[in-house]
Amino acid sequence: MPESFDVIVIGAGPGGYVCAIRAAQLGLKVACVEKRATLGGTCLNVGCIPSKALLQSSEHFEEARHKLADHGVLFDGVKLDLAKMQARKGEVVAANVKGVEFLFKKNKVTWLKGAARIVAPGKVEVAGETYDAKNVVIATGSESTPLRGVEVDETQVVTSTGALELPAVPGHLVVIGGGVIGLELGSVWRRLGAEVTVIEYLDRLVPGMDNEIAKLLERTLGKQGLRFKLKSKVTGATKSADGVTLTVEPAAGGAAEEVKADVVLLAIGRRPHTEGLGLAEAGVEMDERGRVKTDAHFATNVPGIWAIGDVIAGAMLAHKAEDEGVALAEILAGQKGHVNYAAIPGVIYTWPEVASVGATEEELKAAGVAYKSGKFPFTANGRARAMGDMDGFVKILADAKTDRVLGAHMLGPDVGTLIAEISLAIEFGASAEDVARTCHAHPTLNEVVKEAALAVDGRALHI
C-alpha cells in the first residue's frame, strides 16, 4: 500500500521545499514530489543561484581587467577560463541542491521522485503509484515565456537556462526583453567580452520599478557598454550556420529592420508551469494568465488543494515563494500564516545593484497618497568612495502626515543587502525618523540609508 500523508507538496523549488520543511517542523507527515533529478527548483538549478555565481565570477573578471588598476593592483595579462568558471558555477549549484536533500532527510520529508498528477482531490499519482494526502500543495513554478516566430533551441536561441550554459563567449548577444533576467545575464556576457544589445518593447527597462531608478539603470549599464533598443518588437528569427537574423519592428508599427546575432537570449518573462498536473480534470480554477487562482490564504476553489509561488499571482521571486510556503504550512498546521506583500524586496544583481521595496512614487501618485521623499547619493558616502563604487542613490518614500516608511528604491553598490533594513522598517511600521535615529556603523554603505531617511525631513548631514 502506498503511504498516505498529511501534505503532499508538488514541486521542490523555494516555495515547495520550504513549505515541506516548515510543515514537517510543525509535526505534519509530508512528502514533496519533484520531477527534476535534483531538488531546489528553478531557483537553485537554473535560476537565482547559477546566475549569481556567474554574475560574481564575471564581475571579478571585470574588476581584474578594468577596475583594480585604480586601486594600484596591476596584472600583466588577464585571461578568461570560461570552462573553469562554468565548472565552479556547477559546483555552487550542486552544493546548494545537496543541501536541500540534507534538509529533507533532517526534517523527515519524503522525496517522491517523478512527475505528479492530481488524479482526484487528495490523490496524487507519481511514477505509477497513487498516494493519499489530506492536503495537496501546487508549487510547480514557472517556465520561460515563448515568443511567436522565435524558436528556442537552447544553442543559438536560448532561454535563461541556455544562457547560463554557453560554452563560448558570443561575439554579439541579443537579449529580447529588458527585464531583470535579461539585464543580469546580458551583464554577465558583456563583462566576459560579448557585445550585448537589449531589445525591449516598452520605452523603458524593468517595468514596474521606480521610473527614476530605471532611467539611471539604463544610463549606468549603457556606460558599461550594453546597448538598448527600446520601443522595438522582435517579430521573427532566422537561423543559419553563422548566426541568427532577427526581424525587428518599431513597437508602434513601421518599417522592419534586421539585427544579426551570434546568440539570442529570449527573456520576455515567465509563465506559470501547470502542464500535466491534471488541474482541469480536478476542477481547479485558473486565472486569465494561466495562473492557479487562490484566495488570500493560498486555497484554490477545490477543498484540500492549495497553491504557492510562481504558479500563483504576484511577483515571481524566490523569497516570495518561500514566505508563501511558510505561511501555508502554518495555516495547514492550524496556525495563522500570513505574508506581508508590501514588504517583499526586489533586487537586480547587476553591478551596481538595484533594489526596491514597497510602493513606487508612481504608485503613490496614482493612489493619491501624499508622501515625502528623501534621497542621498553614494558619492557623498565615505565607504563608497573608498570602494570606488559611487554610482547611484537611495530614495526613501514616507507618508507626508505620519512619516511611516512606504517604500524605498536604490541603485548602488550592494543595495540588494541594504534594502533589508527598509523591508524591516516597513514590516515594523517604522517611520523615516525611526530609521534616521538608528545608529549606523561608520564607515558603511548603510549610512546612505540613514542619510536618505534624514533627507525625508530635509536634514541630511553629509551633503
**124-143 positions binding ligand FAD, by CB under 6 A:** 139-142
Of residues 24, 31, 33, 157, which one binds ligand FAD by CB under 6 A? 33
**String of contacts with ligand FAD for each residue 261-290, x by CB under 6 A:** ------------x--xx-------------
Of residues 133 and 398, the one with the C-beta less far from ligand FAD: 133
Rule CB under 6 A: say whether 43 interacts with ligand FAD. Answer: yes
Whether the CA torsion 419, 425, 426, 427 is positive or negative: it is: positive
DSSP designation for 63: I
Angle between helices 82-106 and 14-25 (to 10 degrees): 30
Which CB sits closer to ligand FAD, 51 or 381? 51
Shortest distance (Å) from residue 288 CB to ligand FAD: 19
Instruction: Tell me whether residue 307 or residue 432 sits nearer to ligand FAD (CB atom).
Output: 307
Please state the φ and ψ torsions of residue 210, each to the nearest 5 degrees: -50, 130
Q: What is the grid cell recorded at 259?
A: 539585427
91-110: contacts with ligand FAD (CB under 6 A): none
Amino acid found at 344: I
Residue 264 CB contacts under 8 Å (≥ 6 apart), including other chains: 150, 156, 157, 158, 173, 174, 175, 176, 237, 244, 246
Active-site residue 442, yes or no? Answer: yes
CB 306 within 8 A of CB 328: yes
Tell whether residue 123 is a contact of ligand FAD (CB under 6 A).
no
Q: Which stretch binds ligand FAD (CB under 6 A): 66-74, 94-102, 315-323, 329-337?
A: 315-323
Nearer to ligand FAD, 284 or 316 (CB): 316
Which position has the grid cell 541568427? 244
Residue choice 24, 85, 116, 448 for contact with ligand FAD (CB under 6 A)? 116
State the catalytic residue, choosing from 66, 297, 338, 442: 442
> How many residues can be counted in the chain?
463
Written as nine digits, the cell of 409 is 528604491
Least distance between ligand FAD and beta carbon 240 (Å): 27
Least Å distance, CB 5 to ligand FAD, is 15
Distance of CA 383 to the CA centre of its chain: 27
Cβ count within 10 A of residue 200: 25
Q: Where does 241-392 show beta strands of DSSP type E?
A: 243-250, 257-261, 263-266, 270-272, 305-307, 346-348, 353-358, 371-377
Question: Which amino acid makes up residue 330?
Answer: E
Considering the rule CB under 6 A, would residue 41 count as an interface residue with ligand FAD?
Answer: yes
Site residues for ligand FAD, window 156-185 (CB under 6 A)?
A: 160, 181
CB under 6 A: which stretch of 246-254, 308-316, 380-388, 403-411 binds ligand FAD?
Answer: 308-316
Burial class (CB in 10 A: 0-12, 13-18, 19+), 202: middle
Q: What is the DSSP code (8-state) at residue 334? A: T
CB of 57 to ligand FAD, least distance (A): 15
Residues in binding contact with ligand FAD, number by CB under 6 A: 37
- Which residue number, 25 or 444, has a Cβ lying nearer to ligand FAD? 25
Neighbours of 84 (CB within 10 A): 10
- 18 with 99: CB under 8 angstroms? no
Give residues with Cβ within 8 angstroms of 420, minimum separation 6: 345
Q: Which 317-376 positions form the footprint of ligand FAD (CB under 6 A)? A: 317-319, 321, 349
Q: Which of 31, 34, 89, 166 binds ligand FAD (CB under 6 A)?
A: 34
Minimum distance from residue 73 beta carbon to ligand FAD (Å): 29
CB atoms within 10 A of CB 149: 12
247 backbone dihedrals φ, ψ, rounded to 5°: -95, 125
42 sits near ligand FAD (criterion: CB under 6 A): yes
User: Which amino acid, 242?
Assistant: D
- Closest CB to ligand FAD among 213 and 318? 318
Stretch that binds ligand FAD, among 22-30, 33-41, 241-249, 440-448 (CB under 6 A): 33-41
Whole-number minimum distance, CB 124 to ligand FAD, in Å? 9
- Pick between residue 22 and residue 375 the one whose CB is nearest to ligand FAD: 22
State yes or no: residue 209 binds ligand FAD (CB under 6 A). Answer: no
Q: What are phi and psi of 285, to 5 degrees?
A: -80, 145
- Choice between 369 and 420, CB closer to ligand FAD: 420
- The smaller minimum CB distance to ligand FAD, of residues 310 and 361, is found at 310
Interface stretch with ligand FAD, choices 31-39, 234-242, 258-266, 282-290 (CB under 6 A): 31-39
Could you tell me the strand order of the sheet in which 232-240 lies?
232-240, 243-250, 257-261
Cell triple for residue 355? 533594489
What minimum distance in Å lies between the beta carbon of 268 and ligand FAD? 12
CB atoms inside a 10 Å sphere around CB 410: 32
Tell me which residues are annotated as active site.
Answer: 442
Contact residues: ligand FAD, CB under 6 A? 10-16, 33-36, 41-43, 47-48, 51, 115-116, 139-142, 160, 181, 273, 276-277, 309-311, 316-319, 321, 349
